[in-house]
């Protein structure tokens, strides 16, 4: 094995580990800086084709490690073995690996200067994150949400701002490293070399970010203190067992006189006829409900309002087919259903098969228990407590636009009801929660997560987890949240960073063209 091959192998392995591990353990976030810095070095040291293959290799391996639970989840959706789940997952991993790799590799076609490559790289990566579909709803810099005090600019630019911070820090690191290497090679220490734009520009941008984060931190803490508050409880119980309903009722009763609203996870409320509005009539409830949990009164004689996830059906639509929705229901303390929200964004491979309408044969490979119909409107549920609840059901909190639409409908609180019992890995639950932190900052709303197996928690508008239950542990959690109004810049102009990235890329291409023309002249 040649020295060059060995060096490349070590670089690929190191970059993979440093990129993937922060997705699994938040306290390893500093490794993300190392990983992105190594990626810049790796993509500029190899030939054209070899750099693409090496970059694709470490990107795909990083995603495979970070989302190592995906084959098991796919096997669950297919009702098949782990190995079939792995075979199906590999193309998705390679697709997302290429999506990440192109951000680095295409940047190396603009410039091979290690001190500046971060500029076109961050622009191209954000353009790809915003336009190219991905299987996993992630951004390159999302692990930085483990340090929310560093990424408050998400309220202006969205979750891709975490990628900007990642590339800014790594860009400064490789720029300084490159200058130190040059000084060592020349055997001359020249401090003025560290005052060039290649060093000062990322530092200046990071300083501006620090100033804004400090301002936003203080500003929103004051808003929270001055806003009306609500006491809320969340029950974390897997609804898939016979004894689960009784446990949820016991946990809820334990919070009597302590909270204004209690949340139960998705799939806890049974399957009810949409014409059924009152649940205290046992006979009517039995006649207008279906198995499983036919005839249940989720919480008899409640002491406060209940927000619960279940299914609602309409016997016949215009075409004669039954309509079935995954639904969040707000139930009053007199057991009246006062509001319904139907899930609008269905879970791929869990609630629908992508491209199934065009390729009917695909449906045969997936075990769809029910044919779920998506909801149409972003309905906000109005609580008697003053909360205007924007509700997500499971997968929906991964979608920025879903949160924006609810806020545009005047939601002053965001709540996600989740049944994640199909995902046994705590890493899956942790990564899902990370995306909720992004939604909280993007909209500047308290974000309440009520999950069957975790992570049940309250997230502040700053992206901080104020209180939570451990994953895979049954229990009840209570806390206080503030009801916040107003619109963030991202909620109003969600494409600011996309437009800015396009402008930066055009500028980078123009500068690169001029440099190449000058080199050709000389």
The tens digit of pLDDT for each residue in 405-416 reads 999 999 999 999
Question: Which pLDDT score, from 0 to 100, does residue 522 have?
Answer: 46
Ranges of CATH 3.60.110.10 domains, the chain: 228-483
Question: Which pLDDT score, from 0 to 100, does residue 273 have?
Answer: 87
Contact 386/228 with Cβ under 8 angstroms?
A: yes
Segment holding 306, helix H or strand E: strand 305-314
Read off the tokens for 103: 């951000």
Q: How many CB atoms lie within 10 A of CB 215?
A: 11
In this structure, the strands spanning 323-331 and 289-290 are unpaired
Q: How many CB atoms lie within 10 A of CB 159?
A: 26
**CA pair distance 63, 71, nearest whole angstrom:** 12
Please compute Rg for the chain using Cα positions: 25
| Positions in the chain whose pLDDT score sits under 70 | 1-3, 46-49, 78, 179-195, 316-320, 348-370, 514-522
Distances in whole angstroms, Cα of residue 335 to Cα of each of 169, 277, 331:
54, 9, 6
Question: Which pLDDT score, from 0 to 100, does residue 341 have?
Answer: 94
Question: Which pLDDT score, from 0 to 100, does residue 355 have?
Answer: 54
Read off the tokens for 261: 């609203």
pTM, two decimal places = 0.89
Contact 473/133 with Cβ under 8 angstroms?
A: no
131 alpha-carbon distance from chain centroid: 16
Question: Which pLDDT score, from 0 to 100, does residue 187 have?
Answer: 58
Give the three-state DSSP class for 96.
helix
Residue-wise pLDDT tens digits, 429-484: 888 889 999 999 999 999 999 999 878 999 999 999 999 999 888 999 999 999 99
Contacts of 38 (CB under 8 A, 6+ apart): 11, 14, 15, 18
Read off the tokens for 348: 């791929």
Distances in whole angstroms, Cα of residue 171 to Cα of each of 205, 270, 384, 400:
11, 52, 51, 27
- CA torsion sign for 174, 178, 184, 189 is negative
Q: Per CATH, is 228-483 categorized as 3.30.559.30?
A: no
DSSP state of 352: B
Return the residue matching tokens 């290690």: 114
Q: Where are the beta strands (DSSP E) in 394-506?
A: 413-418, 447-451, 457-459, 465-468, 475-482
Crossing angle of helices 48-66 and 29-45, rounded to 10° = 160
């Amino acid at each position: 094995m040649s020295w060059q091959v060995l060096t490349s192998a070590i670089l690929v392995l190191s970059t993979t580990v440093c990129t993937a591990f922060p997705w699994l353990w938040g306290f390893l976030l500093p490794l993300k800086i190392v990983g992105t810095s190594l990626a810049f070095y790796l993509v500029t040291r190899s030939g054209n084709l070899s750099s693409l293959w090496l970059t694709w290799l470490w990107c795909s391996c990083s995603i495979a490690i970070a989302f190592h639970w995906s084959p098991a989840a796919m096997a669950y959706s297919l009702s098949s073995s782990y190995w079939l789940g792995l075979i199906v997952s590999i193309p998705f991993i390679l697709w997302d690996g290429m999506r990440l790799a192109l951000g680095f590799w295409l940047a190396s076609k603009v410039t091979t200067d290690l001190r500046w490559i971060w500029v076109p790289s961050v622009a191209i990566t954000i353009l790809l994150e915003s336009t190219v579909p991905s299987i996993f709803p992630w951004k390159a810099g999302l692990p930085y949400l483990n340090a929310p005090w560093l990424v408050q600019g998400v309220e202006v630019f969205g979750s891709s701002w975490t990628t900007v911070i990642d590339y800014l820090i790594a860009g400064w690191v490789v720029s300084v490293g490159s200058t130190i290497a040059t000084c060592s090679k020349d055997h001359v220490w020249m401090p003025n070399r560290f005052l060039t734009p290649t060093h000062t520009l990322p530092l200046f941008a990071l300083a501006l970010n620090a100033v804004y984060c400090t301002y936003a931190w203080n500003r929103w803490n004051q808003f929270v203190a001055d806003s009306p508050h609500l006491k809320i409880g969340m029950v974390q119980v897997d609804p898939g067992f016979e004894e689960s309903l009784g446990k949820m009722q016991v946990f809820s009763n334990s919070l009597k006189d302590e909270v204004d609203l209690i949340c139960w996870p998705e799939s806890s409320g049974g399957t009810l006829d949409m014409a059924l509005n009152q649940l205290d009539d046992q006979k009517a409830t039995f006649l207008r409900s279906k198995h499983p949990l036919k005839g249940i009164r989720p919480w008899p004689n409640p002491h406060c309002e209940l927000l619960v996830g279940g299914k609602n059906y309409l016997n016949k639509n215009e075409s004669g087919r039954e309509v079935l929705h995954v639904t969040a229901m707000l139930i009053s303390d007199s057991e009246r259903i006062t509001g319904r929200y139907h899930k609008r964004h269905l879970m791929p491979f869990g609630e629908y098969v992508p491209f199934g309408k065009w390729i009917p044969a695909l449906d045969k490979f997936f075990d769809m228990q029910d044919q779920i119909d998506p909801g149409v409107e972003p309905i906000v549920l109005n609580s008697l407590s003053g909360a205007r609840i924007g509700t997500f059901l499971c997968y929906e909190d991964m979608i920025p636009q879903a949160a924006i639409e609810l806020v545009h409908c005047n939601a002053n609180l965001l709540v996600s009801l989740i049944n994640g019992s199909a995902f046994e890995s705590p890493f899956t639950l942790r990564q899902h929660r990370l995306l909720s932190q992004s939604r909280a900052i993007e909209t500047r709303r308290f974000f309440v997560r009520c999950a069957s197996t975790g992570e049940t928690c309250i997230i502040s508008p700053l992206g901080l987890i104020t209180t939570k239950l451990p994953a895979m542990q049954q229990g009840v959690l209570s806390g206080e949240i503030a009801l916040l109004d107003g619109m963030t810049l991202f909620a109003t102009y969600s494409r600011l960073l996309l437009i800015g990235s396009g402008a930066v890329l055009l500028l980078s291409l123009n500068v690169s063209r001029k440099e190449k023309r000058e080199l050709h002249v000389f």
